[in-house]
């Protein structure tokens, strides 16, 4: 059922063609946001838009390669031209290549860093001037992963990229606080996506978290308006060990 909990906020969601990003885009649209789903696969983005529009939501698909500075700039520019403002940025797009560090190709390392770190950096930089003037709290949410704070064998490049994203998030939160922009990090453990199927094929997927569960956390952060601010959310599957 659609609601207006987000009050027509305009939200960019990267990596929105599938998995966590798709769930977030649909969740935000269902609760009143005007959503700009971005990813490399336009047919999948259009399918997300059709679902949002099926319950009366408003959306605009913008095909975007997060390794391209020009395409990221176009994403922000197109969003503001269409909707007149920008309130929310969800940096969810991410890739991984898995295996021992000694067999990791330099090209794969560079591609992961370009997508998982450089892309969010450019998007945040380009979005901040538009996030500053909003009349309400504006937000940047970075999907950082459990490997943003932990390390797992055969995930050196992916882990390094998410540690870097966490570092950027911590600094950014301090830099933009004065403008009323809130910056959050969500660090999920095992979520049932194609990425984890590649990274941990031995896991029982029936025990993994669902992308909708991460989307619900995003919705909570965006609708929380009190003086208490949640900087980082660590979330794990029920069968894994506690983080503390």
244 lies in some domain: no
243 lies in some domain: no
pTM attached to this predicted model: 0.94
Residues 80 and 131: beta-carbon distance below 8 Å: no
Question: Taking all residues of the chain, what is their mean pLDDT, rounded to a whole number?
Answer: 93
What's the pLDDT tens digit per position in 86-110?
Answer: 999 999 999 999 999 999 999 999 9
3 lies in some domain: no
SS (H, E, C) the chain: CCCCCCCCCEEEEECCCCHHHHHHHHHHHHCCCEEEEEECCHHHHHHHHHHHHHCCCEECCEECCCCCHHHHHHHHHHHHHHHCCCCEEEECCCCCCCECHHHCCHHHHHHHHHHHHHHHHHHHHHHHHHHCCCCCCEEEEEECCHHHCCCCCCEHHHHHHHHHHHHHHHHHHHHHHHHCEEEEEEEECCECCHHHHHHCCCCCHHHCECHHHHHHHHHHHHHCCCCCCCCEEEECCCCCCCCC
Give the count of domains, the chain: 1
pLDDT for position 87: 97
2 lies in some domain: no
203 lies in some domain: yes
> Is 179 labeled as catalytic in the residue annotation?
no
189 lies in some domain: yes
Q: Please report, for residues 50, 74, 144, 149, the alpha-carbon distance to residue 47 in angstroms, rounded to integers and kept in the order given.
A: 5, 21, 26, 34
211 lies in some domain: yes
Band the pLDDT of 1: cuts 50, 70, 90: low
User: Stretch 138-167: mean pLDDT, rounded?
Assistant: 94
Q: Which residue segment(s) compose the domain that 162 sits in?
A: 10-235
CATH classification at residue 177: 3.40.50.720
Cβ neighbours, 10 Å, residue 111: 16
Catalytic residue among 18, 158, 182, 195: 158
């Amino acid at each position: 059922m659609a609601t207006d909990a987000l009050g027509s906020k305009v939200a960019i969601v990267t990596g929105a063609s599938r998995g966590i990003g798709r769930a977030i885009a649909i969740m935000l649209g269902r609760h009143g946001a005007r959503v700009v789903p971005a990813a490399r696969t336009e047919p999948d983005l259009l399918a997300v838009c059709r679902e949002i529009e099926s319950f009366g939501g408003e959306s605009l698909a913008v095909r975007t390669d997060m390794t391209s500075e020009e395409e990221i700039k176009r994403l922000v520019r197109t969003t503001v031209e269409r909707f007149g403002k920008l309130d929310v940025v969800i940096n969810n797009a991410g890739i991984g290549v898995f295996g021992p560090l000694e067999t990791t190709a330099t090209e794969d390392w560079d591609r992961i860093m370009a997508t998982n770190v450089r892309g969010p950096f450019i998007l945040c930089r380009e979005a901040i001037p538009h996030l500053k003037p909003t009349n309400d709290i504006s937000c940047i949410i970075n999907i950082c992963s459990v490997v943003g704070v932990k390390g797992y064998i055969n995930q050196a490049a992916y882990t390094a990229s998410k540690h870097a994203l966490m570092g950027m998030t911590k600094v950014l939160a301090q830099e933009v606080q004065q403008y009323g922009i809130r910056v959050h990090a969500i660090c999920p453990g095992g979520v049932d996506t194609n990425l984890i199927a590649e990274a941990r094929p031995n896991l029982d997927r029936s025990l993994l978290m669902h992308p909708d569960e991460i989307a619900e956390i995003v919705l909570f952060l965006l609708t929380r308006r009190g003086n208490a601010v949640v900087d980082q959310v660590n979330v794990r599957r029920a069968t894994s060990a506690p983080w503390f």
